[in-house]
């Protein structure tokens, strides 16, 4: 019997992973055997996931709450599944989908059923990611059409900027003094002054 690990993922630092952690804890996964990434599931270039796969040995087991927590790219999920189950000879259990438990049905029929369910769920996960990106783009376009501005607001150039820039360029004032006169950080003053030369 190998070692059991848990893998959890949320797409952003603001999202809450507690639901996944509770489910993995209920499976007996301790904190030291838990791997958590806080980034998109669009690919598998995630530090904690890579660390987990590197640690896997034959007979080990990975618990994941749902297939979309593993990833959201259809082809990549299939490749990683094969890497773990065939190359590493470890098992995977998807808690929300009991059919995706590679410990069961190691015969031809069990493997076939797992492959079919995995393909279907991987497709659904990628399709949901595509829909999320589309909805996000539509939301941004609609907001822009209503006049919503994105990004940091553009700050007005202070009244004394031109005078300070001229004095700095003529070496009558240091960069620090010119920035101070304008009430700007040195780096901001320098950047804006250089753009106007």
165: Cβ contacts below 8 Å, ≥ 6 apart:
178, 193, 196
Residue that is written with structure tokens 């790219």 in the block: 73
CA distance 86 to 131: 31
Q: Which of 190, 75, 182 is nearest to 126 (CA)?
A: 75
The Cα–Cα gap between 82 and 181 comes to 63
Annotated active-site residue 40? The verdict is no
Tokens of 112: 């076939």
> Which positions are annotated as active-site residues?
11
């Amino acid at each position: 019997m190998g070692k059991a690990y848990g893998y959890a993922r949320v797409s952003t630092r603001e999202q809450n992973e507690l639901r996944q952690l509770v489910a993995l804890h209920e499976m007996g996964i301790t904190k030291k055997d838990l791997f958590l990434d806080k980034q998109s599931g669009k690919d598998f270039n995630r530090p904690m996931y890579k660390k987990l796969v590197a640690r896997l040995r034959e007979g080990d087991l990975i618990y994941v709450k749902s297939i979309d927590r593993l990833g959201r790219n259809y082809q990549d999920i299939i490749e990683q599944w094969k890497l773990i189950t065939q190359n590493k000879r470890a098992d995977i259990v998807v808690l929300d989908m009991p059919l995706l438990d590679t410990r069961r049905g190691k015969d031809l029929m069990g493997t076939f059923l797992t492959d079919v369910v995995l393909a279907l769920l991987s497709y659904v996960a990628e399709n949901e990611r595509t829909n999320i990106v589309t909805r996000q783009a539509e939301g941004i376009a609609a907001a822009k059409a209503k006049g919503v501005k994105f990004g940091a607001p553009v700050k007005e150039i202070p009244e004394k900027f031109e005078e300070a820039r001229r004095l700095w360029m003529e070496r009558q004032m240091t960069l620090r003094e010119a920035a101070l006169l304008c009430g700007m950080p040195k780096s901001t003053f320098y950047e804006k002054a250089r753009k106007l030369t």
